[in-house]
Structure 1
Amino acid sequence: MPVAFPWCTSSSLSAMTKSGVIAIIFLSALLSLIRSCFSAQVYVVYMGSKKNSRNDGGLSQDHQILAAVHNGSIEEAQASLVYSYNKCFRGFAAKLTEDQALKMAEMPGIISVFRNLKRTLHTTHSWDFMGLNFNDSMETSGFSMKNQENVIIGFIDTGIWPESPSFSDERMPPVPSRWRGVCQGGESFSNYSCNKKVIGARYYIGGYEAEQEMVEEPLNFVKSENFRSPRDSSGHGSHTASIAAGHYVHDVNYNGLAAGRARGGAPMARIAVYKACWESGCYDADLLAAFDDAIKDGVDIISVSLGPESPQGDYFNDAISIGSFHAVSNGIVVVSSTGNAGTRGSATNLAPWMFTVAASSTDRDFVSYVRLGNGVSLKGVSLNTDQMNGSVPTILASEANAGYFTPYQSSFCLDSSLNETKIRGKVVVCWHSGSSSESRFAKSLVVKEAGGVGMILIDNRGDDVAVPFIIPAATIGREAGNIVLSYVNRTRGPMSLILPAKTVLGTRPSPRVAAFSSRGPNSLNPEILKPDIMAPGLNILAAWSPAAKKLKFNIVSGTSMACPHVTGLVALIKAVHPDWSPAAIRSAVMTTATVLNKNRRAITEDPNGKKANPFDYGSGFPVPERILNPGLVYDAHSSDYKDFLCSIGYDNNSLQQITGDNSSCTQATSPASNLNYPSISVPNLKSSISIRRTLTNVGKASSIYQAVVHPPMGISVTVIPKYVAFSSYGQKINFTVNLRVTAPSNDYVFGSLSWKSADARVNSPLVVRVVTPGTGLI
């Protein structure tokens, strides 16, 4: 596979020198270029599947390979090695110059060489909202949930706070004998910190520390409370684990908000922790080591609420895609988040072997009203419960700029941007750009430090994310923001009052697609629809780390929180159907989902309230009562993913290295749209096409299904055969979907295909884009 290292070749350096770049203005650029070419950085070297289970020679082989780019020195090779991956796939991470990495990429047996990039972290009323309820006998929809105790979920995240009541092992039986993991001790975490609930814990820091060494900024464990152990210092890992598999906890709330009982989707499932995420993110080298161990330890599911920045690179230059490929090849379901960019085409974790989750709202809001001096009340969101004594003078941050900051810059309430004399004792109106990297809490801190007593935050994106501000404050959308701006600009002595937040249920149609949730189409292979599904991710209450805030439970938003909701559902399916493949389990969730909200109307998207589509929610919103008996599934196995890789350009050599077997690409490779996926996406329809799929019967042995089509606008759709009749469990039947253009459109159009029987309805979204001369993909 090609590996791109811009500029750092002898020819490019020579060309720059010969061009006579002598002027001082260019000399520093040349020196910087040379420094980047010859200074060491951390790279991941991926060598594909491990062909056998023997570990012999793995480490020594890595040293030999590294020695080849270190002038034959084994000592230098050993010093440069960060990780050796040899449990379930082959490869290593090492400190290399770009020139050395280039040479290594050309060696036989190397599939890819890529920089140790940082991945970003993408959370109980939500389960009641989804309709998941267990009765006293641990049954739902006629199926027993008692086998949850034999399901092991691996969380690759920021670790865990094992003392949280969400991770109690009360009434849990002994750990399954098949478990091969460990409870790794470390700072503030002993070998006895695990229990019958949290049955294993490991941590990985080599890739992170190597990066810090490169920039001479070692991780300060004392200052940041970044425990060198599986203990969670940020709260994110504890939050996600408790959403999916947290034990029952009564009388939970956040400062009086969201009061009730907390629980995970699979409250009796086991938790295995793989801490690979630290102060500023999760590095590829550490993530691959976590995947390697999780597969070997014997987990059933891996949940990864993190991912690459958009646009995502090639599958085998991405640690999560690589790790998940080998996990799925070993029968492990990998559930991931789609990202928080909120824009079209920004979805990540795009590999077809992964189960990728978008974020939705529930029917619960945390409402804080802003009451203006003219009597107008505006609805905002907040987690702040402080009471203001009364209305106070109000000022726009742009009118109180300080120092070298322009009015525009100060309008965003940047650090040190506000004039304390003008701000003191006032409510300040600030702007938020909508970027997930921009802290709303930090803005309230800036206002407080400047002497402000309250903040009205106008959010460009209007994503309804509630934040625990440090002073009375509320976030409002752009429309309400315009009302505030008009009032303040036209009023002499404007006043405002911010009321404490309250928990409000059922005020708006739900679920809605969260404004921050990343959308499709799939930027790598639009023939595969991503995201796959949508689940609650807005303002979710779950367990937290007291090291991050003095809280046992916290309310957080993101697709990171949506991911473990689906992880919990997957665990329930695994408990009832332990022999189902990862693809069959994903299909069961996707094909039983709904595209209607609780009012039986089409799901909409925030903030504009427009009708949502499969790029926003994939197959829709899960219906837990249907997932255990989906009737039919679209199954897929390693051979199907191999065919997919062939269809997108992988050759025999690359394929065999990745899979570790004698797989080969046939001359008549099937197009990528023919992967047996629960959704159908055709991004380049010119006139007509035939798409093939295979149904597997997992319902009644004797059953008949009819194809019901809602065609995309301008597309004729016929299904052959229109009826399928099954006579046994596990029977497979092929069918063909013929699509023909009748009226070209300028963009993607959406429809659906359902297989309907007396007992089940198996739904798939249809996504089509007509390509006419002179147009391309969006």
Structure 2
Amino acid sequence: MASLSLTTIILLLSIVLAEFNYSLSSQVHVVYMGKATKSGNDAGIDDDTLYHDHQMLASVHDGSLEKARASHIYTYQGGFRGFAAKLTKEQASILAAMPGVISVLPNLKRKLHTTHSWDFMGLHTNEGTEVPGYSTKDQENVIIGFIDTGIWPESPSFHDEGMSPVPSRWNGSCQVGDPSSNFTCNKKIIGARYYLSGYEAEEQKQKNYQVVEGEDADTDVIIKSKSPRDTMGHGTHITSTAAGRYVKNMSYKGLGIGGGRGGAQMARIAVYKACWEMGCYDADLLAAFDDAIKDGVDIISVSLGPDPPQDDYFKDPISIGSFHALTKGILVISSAGNAGGYGMATNIAPWLLTVAAGSTDRDFASAVVLGDGTKILGDSLTRYNMSSSISTISASEANAAYFTPSQSSFCLDSSLNETKAKGKILVCRHSESSSDTRMEKSEIVKRAGASGMILIDETEYRVATPFVLPASSVNREVGDKIMSYLNTTRSPKSIILPARTIMGSLAAPRVSAFSSRGPNSLTPDILKPDVAAPGLNILAAWSPAKDKCMQFNVLSGTSMACPHVTGIAALVKAVYPTWSPSAIKSAIMTTATILDKKGNNVITDPEGTPANPFDFGSGFIDPTRILNPGLIFDSSPLNYKSFLCSIGYDNHSLQIITGGSSECIKPIPRTSDLNYASITVPNLKGSYRVTRTVTNVGDPWSVYQVSVDAPKGVNVTVSPKVLAFQSYGSSKSFTVYFRAVDPNLQDYVFGSVLWRGNKNMVRVPLVVKMQ
């Protein structure tokens, strides 16, 4: 063979490098094009739709259909229109300017945000799932779609014994994936799909980039199970919390032992696995929404979300997917996020039901006994036994070379001197800025040769952690007492006792410190979160693939709060199958409570101050009242179209998003005109009025009288003061008038409007800020 010339070699290398650089500069993007013009089908994507997508892609690939097909990832046509493809920023910009395109989104990664919890809320843990006074036997007709990490179908929480055949209206399928996964569906888990293309494209790019930089990285994306099977545990946990069957003996290594089930244990489950080991990518999330809408689910539960602050509604996959779900009569329930601070809530679109997290009256605690006899309770899931008290020092005293005592006090990786740490209990610190998790700190301490750890958790999240050695987590105040003991004692010692279950030691429920708060960063006229539910130290089913031989686990987060509301929504849907998503949402909001189990105002962790609507929306869900709300605030898809007009969408954009010939009415509605079950006035100057319409779903002859708890510095009146209904389903309107009395108030103030009937109370939170 003739040798290649230097010129030819250089040319070939330049072509290879150009292709490689293209692969690095390109990223999967989602091209969102509004409402679907055709219905998808399970047999595959419509040929005309696919051809159209390839033609659009070819226009940015020098007219090459081959390159267009190679770059294509997904086509969306079930619930909405669009596609996902590998594009450079320049190509994405060109597509964004094309007619019919609403937005082009980079394929961002999203984060994944109970035996006793249902008892705590008044639904007693037994084999029934009834709300007192109401039959919820039609749960088997309710289908819940879970977009998460999949499911472990063999879990006892998901057996189908005694269940009727799958509803005939179900359009979904059971996509088993790799034969080695042995995944199967049944009459409980009636559908399962998985989505990998967006994840693989991004994670493979990251691996390849590491190799280019000279690292010895595996170029294959690690996927444990190319199937709907859950190898992480998160999806199994949230699914069983919402809809798990009754399990007689549920516990975490003997903690929290008892019977457990989900809120709607007879509801059907459809699984959409869009989250993997490294996260959940937008392209896959939208594919999951698209299929869930097409398959015919009644409710979608999404325990994940973006980092704050959230982007525009139609640049966010959960907002996009949930909007189109709503137009099909599907309620989407989502978690508020775990960033903790005010203004940090995500999933804040008004068509979503957004859930904050709180506690129950059960804690998992490990006692620390100091050498002077002082006994301190800290949070832990650790069951290790220590035989006697041992020497206890601050981790700052065990600093390794090149680390300051301050750095080693946080027990950073490699920061501990093994000689100094060996055999001792180390007192470490954990803060919001810590690079290591609580669990990782225990692993670092164990590797250093220590025998135990007391963790001063400055975040004060009260999260029980399964530490890898005897350990207990305490708050800052208790931590200060421990440090005082260490600093004033010649040879300080302590012993850490095994964790145990403790009931009723603190006021409950409380809003968890990690739960993200309002106000709504995009539309301050809409209160977010909507409600709160148990999300701290929740026991539910788990995946043995994550932890061998472990069927149940304890997790914390708004991810755990979300499925509690999902289960309740399923009960409402079972009793009232024709209710709209907004009606179900309203019933959950207006029956929520702002009082704890002792009748005091709910407080927040860690400050212990009274909770306000930015902490928990309308309050904590109350399943005992949920099926008899009396009045509901209903909204149709048309009302949400008007909302889009109020936040600046023009006729052209509105028509693409919603389909048809929708136009914004004149004058343009105000954002506060959306018939929401809460009222927020973020810029009160002088006076303002807000009108709401309620529909009677209680006794045909019902009379409600109003009472007002006015926010500080604001005069509030309501007209009329009495609402008299003469039939079921009739509607009446009322207007709330606001007048600034103290315009010098700089912060938000809170109050409520309460409608009292003979049998019902309908509470509407008020949130006001002076301009």
One-letter identity of the residue aligned with 1:415: D
Q: TM-score if structure 1 supplies the norm length?
A: 0.93
Report the 3-state secondary structure (helix = DSSP H, G, I; strand = E; otherwise coil) of the residue aligned with 2:407.
Answer: helix
In structure 2, relative to structure 1, the CA distance for the partners of 1:714 and 1:454 (3 Å cut) is same
Q: Counterpart in 1 of 2:670? A: 671
- For residue 40 of structure 1, what is the amino acid of its counterpart? S
Question: Is the alpha carbon distance of 1:76 and 1:223 closer, same or farther for their aligned partners in structure 2, counting shifts above 3 Å?
Answer: closer
Assess, with a 3 A threshold, how the Cα gap between structure 1 residues 35 and 691 changes in structure 2: closer, same or farther. Answer: farther
Letter aligned with residue 109 of structure 1: G
TM-score, L = length of structure 2: 0.93
Structure 2 unaligned spans of 5+: 1-16, 41-45, 210-216
Aligned twin of 2:57: 66
Are the aligned partners of 1:686 and 1:770 in contact in 2 as well (CA < 8 Å)? yes
Residue of structure 2 equivalent to 1:21:
none
Unaligned runs of 5+ in 1: 1-30, 772-778
* Cα-to-partner distance string for 1:39-64 (whole Å, 9 max, x where unaligned): 11111110000123263411111100
> How far does the alpha carbon of each residue in 1:420-463 deviate from its partner, in whole angstroms, 9 at most, with x for none?
11110010111111369741111101100110100000111211
Q: Determine the C-alpha separation between the residues in 2 that align with 1:135 and 1:164.
A: 18
1:263 aligned residue: 261
Note if contact 2:129-2:264 (Cα within 8 Å) is conserved in structure 1: no
The 2-side partners of 1:138 and 1:484 are apart by: 46
Query: Given the superposition, is the C-alpha separation of residues 192 and 382 from structure 1 closer, same or farther in structure 2, using an over 3 Å criterion?
Result: closer
Given the alignment, which residue of 365, 368, 372 partners 2:366?
368
* CA displacement at 1:190 relative to structure 2: 6.2
> What secondary structure is seen at the aligned counterpart in 2 of 1:251?
strand
Change (3 A) 1:376 1:385: same
**In structure 2, what is the equivalent of residue 7 of structure 1?**
none
- Where 2:239 maps in the other structure, the secondary structure is helix
Render the CA deviation track for 1:258-294: whole Å, top value 9, x for unaligned. 0000100000011000000001211100000000000
Residues 123 and 557, structure 1, Cα contact 8 Å, conserved in 2: no
Q: Which amino acid aligns with 2:333?
A: V
Distance in 2 (CA, whole Å) between partners of 1:114 and 1:222 is 26
Q: Deviations over 1:207-230 (max 9, x none)?
A: 100101222359989996621110
Partner residue, 2:650: 651
Aligned amino acid, residue 652 of structure 1: N
Distance, in Å, in 2 between the alignment partners of 1:592 and 1:57 is: 48
Retained in 1: the 8 A contact 2:240–2:541?
yes
The aligned runs of 1:298-377 (5 Å cut-off) are 298-377=296-375
Change in 2 beyond 3 A, CA 1:223/1:447: farther
CA distance in 1, matches of 2:282, 2:269: 22
Q: Give 1:233 shift.
A: 0.5
Q: Could you tell me which amino acid in structure 2 is paired with residue 473 of structure 1?
A: A
User: 502-511 vs 347-356, which deviates more?
Assistant: 502-511
Looking at structure 2, the residues matched to 312 and 543 of structure 1 have their Cα atoms a distance apart, in angstroms, of 31
Cα deviation, 1:679-730, whole Å, max 9, x if unaligned, reads 0011111111010111111111111111111110111111111111111111
SS at match of 1:121: coil
Q: How does 1:632-651 map to 2 (within 5 A)?
A: 632-651=631-650
Q: Which residue of 1 aligns with 2:382?
A: 384
Task: Determine the C-alpha separation between the residues in 1 that align with 2:126 and 2:488.
Answer: 59
Write out aligned runs for 1:67-82 (5 A). Answer: 67-82=58-73
**Contact 1:105/1:113 (8 A) holds in 2:** yes
Kindly indicate whether the alpha-carbon contact (under 8 Å) linking 2:181 and 2:229 is maintained by their aligned counterparts in 1. no
- 1:502 aligns with 500
Partner amino acid, structure 2, of 1:747: D
Matched, 1:762 2:762: yes
SS across alignment from 2:752: strand
Q: Contact 1:123/1:537 (CA < 8 Å) preserved in 2? A: no
- Report the residue type matching 1:620 in the other structure: G
Partner of 2:741: 742
Residue number in structure 1 paired with 2:427:
429
Task: Say whether the 8 Å CA contact 1:337–1:356 is kept in structure 2.
Answer: yes
Q: Distance in 2 between matches of 1:44 and 1:377?
A: 56
Report the CA distance between 1:508 and its aligned residue: 1.3
Alpha-carbon distance in structure 2 between the residues aligned to 1:123 and 1:644: 37
Conserved? CA contact 2:369–2:496, under 8 Å: yes
Whether contact under 8 Å (1:123, 1:561) holds in the other structure is no
Kept after mapping to 2: 8 A contact 1:366/1:382 = yes
The CA deviation at 1:137 is 7.3
Distance 1:352 1:536 in 2: 22
Report if the CA contact (8 A) 1:203-1:230 is conserved. yes
Kindly indicate whether residue 710 of structure 2 is the aligned counterpart of residue 707 of structure 1.
no
Question: Greater CA deviation, 54-63 or 618-627?
Answer: 54-63
Taking the TM superposition and a 5 Å limit, the aligned residue runs for 1:500-579 are 500-550=498-548, 551-579=550-578
Match of 1:48 in 2: 34
Matches of 1:138 and 1:279, distance apart in 2: 34
Q: 184-193 vs 110-119, which deviates more?
A: 184-193
Secondary structure in structure 1 of the residue aligned to 2:511: coil
Q: For residues 155-189 of structure 1, what are the alpha-carbon distances to aligned partners after superposition, in whole Å with 9 as ceiling and x for unaligned?
A: 00000000000001111111111111111012366
2:613 corresponds in structure 1 to: 614
CA 1:436–1:114 in structure 2 vs 1: closer, same or farther (change >3 Å)? farther
- Tell me if structure 2 keeps the 8 A contact 1:123–1:558: no
Please tell me whether the aligned partners of residues 134 and 140 of structure 1 are also in contact (alpha carbons under 8 angstroms): no
* Distance of 2:434 and 2:317 partners within structure 1: 23
- Report the Cα distance in structure 2 between the residues aligned to 1:294 and 1:195, rounded to whole angstroms: 18
Check whether the contact 1:38–1:97 (CA below 8 A) recurs between aligned residues. Answer: no
CA distance in structure 1 between the partners assigned to 2:159 and 2:147 by the alignment? 20
Distance apart, 1:650 and its partner CA: 0.7
Structure 1, residues 568-619: CA drift from partner, whole Å, max 9, x if none? 0000000000000000000001001110000000000011211111100100
**Aligned counterpart, 2:397:** 399
- Cross-structure match for 1:101: 92
Match of 1:110 in 2: 101
Give the secondary-structure state (helix, strand or coil) at the position aligned to 1:625.
coil
Deviation at 1:138, TM superposition (A): 5.7
Give the superposition deviation at 1:761: 0.7
Residue 298 (structure 1) shift = 0.6
Once residues 664 and 33 of structure 2 are traced to their aligned partners in structure 1, the CA distance between those partners, rounded to angstroms, is: 19
d(CA) in 2 for partners of 1:172 and 1:52? 34
Whole-angstrom distance in 2 between the partners of 1:189 and 1:573: 39
Separation in 2 of the partners of 1:136 and 1:386?
33
1:359/1:535 contact within 8 Å kept = yes
- For 1:222 and 1:70, the matched residues in 2 are separated by 27
Higher mean displacement: 54-63 or 551-560: 54-63
Instruction: Quickly say closer, same or farther: Cα 1:276–1:162, change in 2 above 3 A.
Output: same
Q: Number of aligned pairs?
A: 740
Match in the other structure for 1:226:
224
Closer, same or farther in 2 for the Cα pair 1:360/1:217, shift >3 Å? Answer: farther
Given the superposition, is the C-alpha separation of residues 626 and 353 from structure 1 closer, same or farther in structure 2, using an over 3 Å criterion? same
Q: Matches of residues 287-306 of structure 1 in structure 2 within 5 Å?
A: 287-306=285-304
Equivalent residue, structure 2, for 1:11 = none
- The code of the aligned residue for 2:751 comes to G
Amino acid at match of 1:292: D
Q: Distance in 1 between matches of 2:582 and 2:80?
A: 21
Shift of 1:134: 7.9
Please state whether the residue corresponding to 1:615 is helix, strand or coil.
helix
Separation in structure 2 between the aligned mates of residue 514 and residue 410 of structure 1, nearest angstrom: 28
Question: Aligned letter for 2:339?
Answer: A
Structure 1 counterpart of 2:721: 722
- Corresponding position of 1:89: 80
Amino acid at match of 1:416: S
